[in-house]
Amino acid sequence: MSYVIRDGKLETAKPIKNLNEDQKKVLKVTTAKQADKIKALKAKLVS
Amino acid sequence: MITPLSSETLSDFFTSFDFSGESEALQAFIGLLRETASHRQNIIHTGYVDQIPFGFVSLKITNDVDNIPGLLIEFLYVKPEFRQKLMRDAPRYSFSMLDDVIMLAFELQKIVAINHVFLIPVDENKRSMYLEYGFENIPGSGKNPFEDFMVFNLLSDTDA
């Protein structure tokens, strides 16, 4: 369960079901920024 | 590197923080995270600089995004006096903690199949910070655009 502050109150955020194609794409495609970060952090882990 | 807190050390840890300047809702949220952490429903990881705690991040495993397993950043907090300051070669304390969370996720990937780190910014002002780090909005995934989930994908092309 996730939480958000909505209108000054703590509320629970609803889980999402049945992702549409645009939403699935965000989860499938690793951006260049993410790839660079992954590369840098994996290098940091082995150093 | 962030350090996980045991439930026994939660009280001592939180006494080093003063949340009185934060909103009532944020204080309620932190109180809830502290309570759930005491029941091992989430783990609070602390960030230190020179043995002084500068913030914490609450982590748990989630399947809130279409039953896809991932590591959930429930909340990331940096003390006001440490916000927007430089720390060694990292640009921000918050980014430094996010680096540690991602590296923790790499370790988790060795034993469980998770390929995503998810979060919902607790308030909309923080969304730009996560975008700057590399998280992406999952459009239309929240009750309103201000509550959309964000994701950091852990698989690079070389992993596929």
Query: Is A8 a member of any domain?
Result: no
Residue A9 lies in a domain: no
Q: What is the mean pLDDT of residues B47-63?
A: 94
What is the span of the domain harbouring residue B74? Answer: 3-159
- State the total domains in chain A: 1
Which residues in chain A have Cβ-Cβ distances shorter than 8 Å to B23?
5, 8
Q: What is the pLDDT of residues B15-40, one digit of tens each?
A: 889 999 999 999 999 999 999 999 99
Answer with the residue of higher pLDDT: B102 or B7: B102
Q: A21 lies in which domain range?
A: 15-47
pTM, rounded to two decimals? 0.93
Structure tokens at A21: 């194609």
- Identify the CATH number of the domain in which residue B75 sits: 3.40.630.30
| CA–CA dist A18, A37 (Å, integer) | 29
Query: What pLDDT score does B8 carry?
Result: 87
Closest residue to A34, CB basis, from B63, B72, B152 = B152
* Interface size between A and B, measured as CB pairs under 8 A: 115
Enter the ipTM. 0.95
Asked whether residue A25 is domain-assigned, the answer is yes
Q: Which of A3, A35, A37 sits opposite B102 (nearest CB)?
A: A37
Q: Which residues pair with B60 in a beta bridge?
A: B72
Burial B66-104, CB ≥16 within 10 A → b, else e? bebebbbbbbbbbbeebeeeeeeeeebbbbbbbbbbbbb
Element (H, E) at A35: helix A32-46
CA distance A1 to A6: 15
* Number of domains chain B is built from: 1
| Closest CB from A5, A18, A31 relative to B66 | A18
Q: Which of residues 36-95 of B touch A (CB under 8 A)?
A: 62-68, 72, 74-75
DSSP-H helix ranges across chain B: 10-14, 24-38, 93-109, 127-133
